[in-house]
Amino acid sequence: MGKIAFMGAGSTIFAKNVLGDVMSTPSLCDSEIALYDIDHKRLNESEVILNNINNNSNNGRAKITAYLDRKEALRGAKYVVNAIQVGGYEPSTVIDFEIPKKYGLRQTIGDTLGIGGIFRALRTIPVLFDFAKDMEEVCPDAWFLNYTNPMAALTGAMLRGTSIKTVGLCHSVQVCADHLLKGLEMKTDNLQWKIAGINHMAWLLEISRNGEDLYPEIKKRALEREAPHHDMVRYEIMKRFGYYVTESSEHNAEYMPYFIKDKYPELIEKFNIPLDEYPRRCIAQIKGWEQMGKDLVNNKNIEHKRTTEYASYIMEAMETNIPYKIGGNVLNAGLITNLPKDAVVEVPCLVDRSGVTPCYIGELPPQLAALNRTNINTQLLTLEAALTGKKEHIYHAALLDPHTSAELSIDDIISLCDDLIEAHGDWLPKFV
């Protein structure tokens, strides 16, 4: 086994899960693991924790090294896992949430679509292009496994703007069916399901058990579930459009124009929508890490059991040539025939020694494709802004964003974009 580089290794819990999975996999357990992060304290903490897992769960077989030099971390890698967050909680996430509030625009997560997703993409894509430039020099044949949001825009940037083999990976596909059924107190054994669409708005197109379609019972139980819960937006989408969506209610509330509306504040309570959810999580995680980090770093007996994250299964399939199916984010190129060819779609993919081979889906139900296209418009225009350096495409992306355009006037959207460009300063490239 060769070298795995982890970019953003200061995301300690995620690095622990992905690289712990690697060390728990027989065909990968003797890998050389390169850790890189610009936060040297968190990088060091991750190195200590992973070495302890290596010693306790892997007999020390992996070689783990933290790097301060990015190019050296990448040199000779077969796989590069990306989990960076450019700008962090402060200043960038705070800016993404607080400035739109001045215009009356509220968000929940702000990392995938909407005004927050647009600006997160614009400050992240140049960094990924720097990674790609290094990779083209020191590991041109490596696979880039992208976990960073906004998934579609960033994966599209790598696929359209570089020569690096890239697939985007999310957590929501593999847990979607189980989560839906558990919430409805239905059994989760012997399931067969099919999911396709775009990241965070992919659709559970089919779900059955032993040949029996489960959707009629799912919809019946969903209508009967009256007490407030965290899936209410998704249930409403399923009620109106016919299918369950992969990503959480707090995410999808801001991908559509129906739920977060200044004119109808009662919708927030009706659908149990957690405004400003991502900043709250960030504050809690930062505070919690003060103690959790100490506990993990000081736990010399820490062990790991393999998770459901796709990364290690992808590497295992490529190394052993034993096929494995994932839900991957790839360039459409005709896979879903009623979505744009240059969009990034989330579809079943077969992984083996040949790489990642996406599966043909054909047409989505027309109402689902229509919803996807509203998001794709903003994703493609955000990418256009990043590739061309033209400010006008930032405006276009925001003007066509479903939630932003439902709440603000054209003049306010332009003004908001200008304020965000100024506030982010050097975290963004220069646009003309």
Residues 6+ apart with CB under 8 A from 116: 93, 96, 97, 100, 107, 109, 110, 278
Structure tokens at 125: 């894509």
Considering the domain boundaries, does residue 36 fall inside one?
Answer: yes
Considering the domain boundaries, does residue 131 fall inside one?
Answer: yes
pLDDT-derived band at 290 (thresholds 50, 70, 90) equals: confident
Q: How many domains does the chain have?
A: 2
Determine the average pLDDT of the residues in 354-371.
98
Chosen domain end from 122, 149, 171: 171
DSSP-derived 3-state class of residue 9: coil
Considering the domain boundaries, does residue 154 fall inside one?
Answer: yes
Considering the domain boundaries, does residue 153 fall inside one?
Answer: yes
Determine the average pLDDT of the residues in 375-385.
98
By percentage, how much of the chain surpasses pLDDT 90?
97
φ/ψ (deg, to 5) at 283: -60, -45
Q: Show which residues are catalytic.
A: 171
Structure tokens at 323: 């096929």
Chosen domain end from 153, 171, 189: 171
Considering the domain boundaries, does residue 346 fall inside one?
Answer: no
Which residues constitute the domain of residue 404?
Answer: 373-427
Residues forming beta bridges with residue 349, ordered by sequence position:
326, 358
pLDDT in tens, 78-92: 999 999 999 999 999
CA 168 from centre of chain = 8
Considering the domain boundaries, does residue 196 fall inside one?
Answer: no
Considering the domain boundaries, does residue 220 fall inside one?
Answer: no
37-75 b/e with 16+ CB inside 10 Å = b? beeeebbbbbbbbbbbbbbbbbeeebebebbeebbebbb
**CA–CA separation, 269 and 238 (whole Å):** 19
CA 189 from centre of chain = 27
Determine the average pLDDT of the residues in 38-46.
96
Considering the domain boundaries, does residue 243 fall inside one?
Answer: no
Give the C-alpha distances (Å, rounded to integers) separating 31 from 1, 28, 34, 77, 89.
5, 6, 10, 10, 32
State yes or no: pLDDT of 1 exceeds 90.
no
Q: What is the pLDDT of residue 154?
A: 98
Determine the average pLDDT of the residues in 328-332.
98
> What's the CATH number where 35 sits?
3.90.1820.10
Mean of per-residue pLDDT scores for the chain: 97
- Cβ contact 325:317 at 8 Å: no
- 272 sits in the region (left: phi over 0; alpha: psi -120 to 50; else beta) called left
pLDDT-derived band at 239 (thresholds 50, 70, 90) equals: very high
Chosen domain end from 171, 191, 214: 171
pLDDT-derived band at 271 (thresholds 50, 70, 90) equals: very high
pLDDT in tens, 92-141: 999 999 999 999 999 999 999 999 999 999 999 999 999 999 999 999 99
In sign, the C-alpha dihedral spanning 184, 107, 377, 143 is negative
Q: What is the pLDDT of residue 148?
A: 98
